Amino acid sequence: MFRRCVLFFCLLSMALAKTPRPLANVTIQTPDRKGIDVKKYRGKVVLLVLFATSCDECVSVVNFVAKLEKDYAARGFQALGAAVDDNAAYLITSFVQRYRPPFPVGFLEKDPLIKLADIPEGRRPFVPILIFIDHKGTVRAQYYGNDPFLKDVEKGTRAIVTGLMNQRDSGQEPQRITAPAPPKQ
């Protein structure tokens, strides 16, 4: 019975977002209404973090991604962020002022979020959501906040980003990159 439950949850998590998939044509809104076009970063390895402004784990992930941006930006890495709260348009300015992420940050409303994160109808995934995009604009991996991947987000994220950058730099066709197994508890 336990194995069936584990299998069910594994299949459910795989069904939430299909990877690889083409990047959806969605613009992340900014308070100044200029917007962030994710597709303009084609040629770079992109990590898009979708977060809630009031979520402590989300803030930790945004702070970690800020370090990642500093470590890998010179190698062609780009971090992006989008708040996905119900009132994100009103909350994002104070969030950016408080945490000062060194990468572009904006917000998404419900419909663009569903389209970008490939969320099935009727599902409400946990934040933060990490979306890894290769240099050709293909979503290669996606993890939700309740995924075991986030137990050691730094190790897994660095492994995926490094793998995607190595594929780009070697000129090979992008392939599926997986994170190391999460730590056992």
Residues 6+ apart with CB under 8 A from 91: 53, 54, 83, 85, 107
Helices (H), 73-152: 88-99, 110-117
Distance CA 18, CA 22 (A): 10
Tell how strand 45-51 and strand 21-22 pair up.
Answer: unpaired
Q: Which two structure tokens, joined as six digits, stand for 74? A: 């010179």
Predicted pLDDT of residue 174: 67
Predicted pLDDT of residue 130: 98
Predicted structure pTM score = 0.86
Q: pLDDT tens, position by position, for the chain (185 residues)?
A: 433 333 333 334 444 568 899 999 999 999 888 999 999 999 999 999 999 999 999 999 999 999 999 999 999 999 999 999 999 999 999 999 999 999 999 999 999 999 999 998 888 889 999 999 999 999 999 999 999 999 999 999 999 999 999 999 988 776 666 666 655 65
Predicted pLDDT of residue 8: 36
